[in-house]
Structure formats: structure tokens, C-alpha cells
Structure 1
């Protein structure tokens, strides 16, 4: 389908145009979200590739550590925008959030069972205050 490579730009309309052209190809190919996430990065070059690698590495290594629950939720939410598979799948988002919580908070939050991402975040806030 001869997709165009994307090297990066500061012009949002150019970036949006590239995204739209890739989405048209993915729709035609009937790709699933997980496949889309793997394929679109193949067409990033130069600055765009460097940016993606730094963002994805930072997000994938994100852990709560000493951060407050509020700070961690903020960072996690921002990072999810770069991982559409996680942002669009509530179970995957909840699971990833739980895995990155401080172990003591993770145990407290898990005690009641997992239902939704929103409930897990609320429980993490409550456990963080305790």
C-alpha cells in the first residue's frame, strides 16, 4: 500500500495527515489494535523514531516508586495516550496500572477484587492516604 514514512514535524496538521493516511491503510487491511501498534512504528524515522523510543521506554519502565498516588495516576494517564491498545482496553489499562503500583498499595487494592480501572484508581488513592 506504499505507506509514507514520518520523520516528525512541529506542524500538527502534517502529523494528523500522516496518522489519517496510516489509519486508512490499517482499516483496509482490517488490522487489530495490537497489530496497528506494532506496524505504525515501522514507518517512523529520524526525529519521530527517537521521540517514540524515548516515550515508549519511559512509559514502559514507569513505576510508582516514591510518587504519590495522584502524581503516579497523572503520569500513567499521560503515558497511556502513547499506547492506544492500553488506552482503549479498560482491562489492560487496569492490569498495567496495578502492576506498576507500589507493592504495598497493590496488595491493599487487590484484596477487594478488581472490577474497573476507575475503582482501582479510587482504591489506590484510599490506600495511599492510609
Structure 2
């Protein structure tokens, strides 16, 4: 069977779209930005998506302001033919749509988190969702610290 790169890209895009990926329009929506990333990454995993295709597919579902942001960011990041990895895309995306002040508030909320009258399940869910914003607790080395904090 002869390989047609254009056809493979089209098939990959069709497969991606069958999973009904959410679109992201930008604006001030930190929670929406984080949720959008989580959702597209779930789809990438289900598809066994290669690193080099993640940026293309993720960018495909950016709309309106987010699409304008990406066009500018892509020009800047890809200058001189530099390859833009998914990790780089995510970092830039979060700098833009999950600003430092929001991230810092989440870190403080995490550091001050107490179980109080939440059930263990509620507390564990809140702990995990806030932990995502505390970079220190997201490393293998920090697993012990994470247990102590919990």
C-alpha cells in the first residue's frame, strides 16, 4: 500500500474528531483552559497519538481568540524552523490562559487545605485537583511530601 502523508493526516484528524474534542475559545477562563488540556490529553492517550501530532490536533480545536493567540505564538516559537513540542505548547498555553495570579491562588488554597467537614473522598478529590497547581508536589521525589501533606 502506498503511503500518502496527506491522507494519513486526514485520517488522524477524522479519528481525533470522532472523540468529540472540546473547542477552546480563549478569554479569561482558567478553569476552562485546564479542563480543555485534560480532555484533549485523554483523547491523545486513547488514540496513541505521537508527540509530533499532538500540537497539530490540539491547535485544530482552538477557536476565536485562542486561535489568534496560537497563530502568533506559533510564529514566535517556531522561528527558524524550531520544533514546537506538546510540552512547550502546554507551557505557553498555561502562561496565557492560566495566569500566575490564578495559579498562585490555587497553590495557597492547596497549602491551606484542611479536611474540615468534607468526607475523605471529597477531601481527596479537592487535594488532587489543587495538587496539580503546586509544581513541587508533582514530581516523583515529592511523593513522600505529598503523603505528609495529605
Q: TM tier, shorter chain?
A: 0.3 to 0.5
TM-score (norm 2): 0.41
